[in-house]
């Protein structure tokens, strides 16, 4: 399995797209952290509330991991390498598991990079302002949730990619669902007074897990729901891959 994961990482590194993804995560995270600290009042500086906001500046890492997870699968069909991949490893479940593990790893790596950057910006900035970065157990938990949520986003992307297999439709549908359709569905459910159902949708669940919420599911319950979505899409993706003729 380690050889398969290594092969997936090599495929990812040999494309230029990953550079753009990483730069996007770093740029948006840096801007978010700078804006958060720069606009904080004197009373907020040094507080754990500000620390949580700084940490949340890194949340784009999860969404980018989601997109990378999709491309890990769909790029095989786009470039016609899926036949060669399955000839080398005929057991298709192993191929998909390797991609899932790669998606998890990519999510963690992106989250680590984003977190290191936003924390460095906040700590240095606050030190210059004569303050300090507030840190306690809740802040540490927020960091952990950001890392885990990014891993789940990456794995979810692999499942979505395996279900669609075609890259452009997969990316378009996934982006529209997360940014447009799901928020609209949640709003409509709220109008129907069944807003609690929206908490169990994949984007809402993972957003609650990574950012926490005073309403709806608790963060760790939301994380469990997100994991269920990862498993569900993974199984659906495997069934689609197992039945697909790639000769």
From first to last of its 247 residues, the chain has per-residue pLDDT tens of 777 777 766 676 777 777 888 899 999 999 998 888 888 776 667 677 888 888 988 888 999 999 999 998 888 887 777 777 776 777 777 888 888 999 999 999 999 999 999 999 988 888 888 788 778 888 888 999 999 999 999 999 999 999 998 889 999 999 999 999 998 988 888 887 777 788 899 998 998 898 755 567 888 899 999 999 999 999 998 888 887 766 6
Question: What pLDDT is recorded for position 132?
Answer: 80
> Which residue, among 24, 30, 99, has the nearest Cα to 62 in the 3D structure?
24
Question: What pLDDT is recorded for position 111?
Answer: 94
Give the CA distances from residue 212 to residues 108, 140, 150, 219, 222, in Å, rounded to whole numbers and listed in that order: 19, 13, 14, 5, 9
Question: What pLDDT is recorded for position 212?
Answer: 58
DSSP string, 54-97: HHHTTTHHHHHHHHHHHHHHHHHHHTT-HHHHHHH---HHHHHH
Tell me how many domains the chain contains.
1
Give the CA distances from residue 59 to residues 62, 64, 102, 185, 200, in Å, rounded to whole numbers and listed in that order: 6, 9, 19, 22, 19
Q: Domain range spanning residue 118?
A: 2-243
Give the CA distances from residue 39 to residues 43, 126, 181, in Å, rounded to whole numbers and listed in that order: 11, 12, 32
Give this prediction's pTM: 0.90
Q: How many CB atoms lie within 10 A of CB 83?
A: 12
Element (H, E) at 234: helix 219-243
CB 215 within 8 A of CB 222: no
CB 155 within 8 A of CB 69: yes
């Amino acid at each position: 399995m380690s050889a398969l994961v290594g092969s997936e990482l090599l495929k990812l590194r040999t494309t230029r797209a990953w550079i753009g993804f990483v730069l996007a995560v770093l740029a948006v995270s840096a801007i978010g952290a700078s804006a958060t600290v720069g606009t904080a009042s004197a009373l907020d500086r040094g507080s754990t509330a500000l620390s949580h906001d700084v940490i949340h500046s890194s949340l784009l890492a999860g969404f980018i991991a989601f997109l990378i997870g999709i491309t890990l699968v769909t790029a095989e069909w786009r470039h016609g390498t899926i036949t060669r991949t399955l000839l080398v490893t005929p057991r298709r479940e192993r191929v998909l598991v390797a991609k899932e593990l790669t998606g998890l790893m990519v999510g963690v790596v992106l989250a680590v990079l984003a977190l290191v950057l936003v924390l460095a910006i906040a700590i240095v900035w606050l030190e210059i302002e004569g303050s300090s970065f507030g840190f306690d157990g809740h802040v540490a938990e927020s960091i952990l949730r950001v890392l885990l949520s990014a891993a789940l986003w990456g794995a979810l992307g692999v499942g979505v990619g395996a279900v669609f297999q075609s890259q452009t439709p997969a990316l378009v549908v996934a982006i529209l669902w997360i940014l447009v359709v799901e928020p609209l569905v949640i709003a409509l459910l709220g109008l129907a007074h069944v807003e609690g159902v929206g908490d169990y949708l994949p984007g809402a669940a993972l957003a609650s897990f990574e950012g926490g919420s005073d309403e709806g599911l608790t963060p760790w319950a939301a994380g469990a729901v997100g994991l269920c979505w990862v498993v569900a899409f993974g199984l659906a993706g495997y069934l689609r891959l197992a039945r697909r003729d790639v000769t």
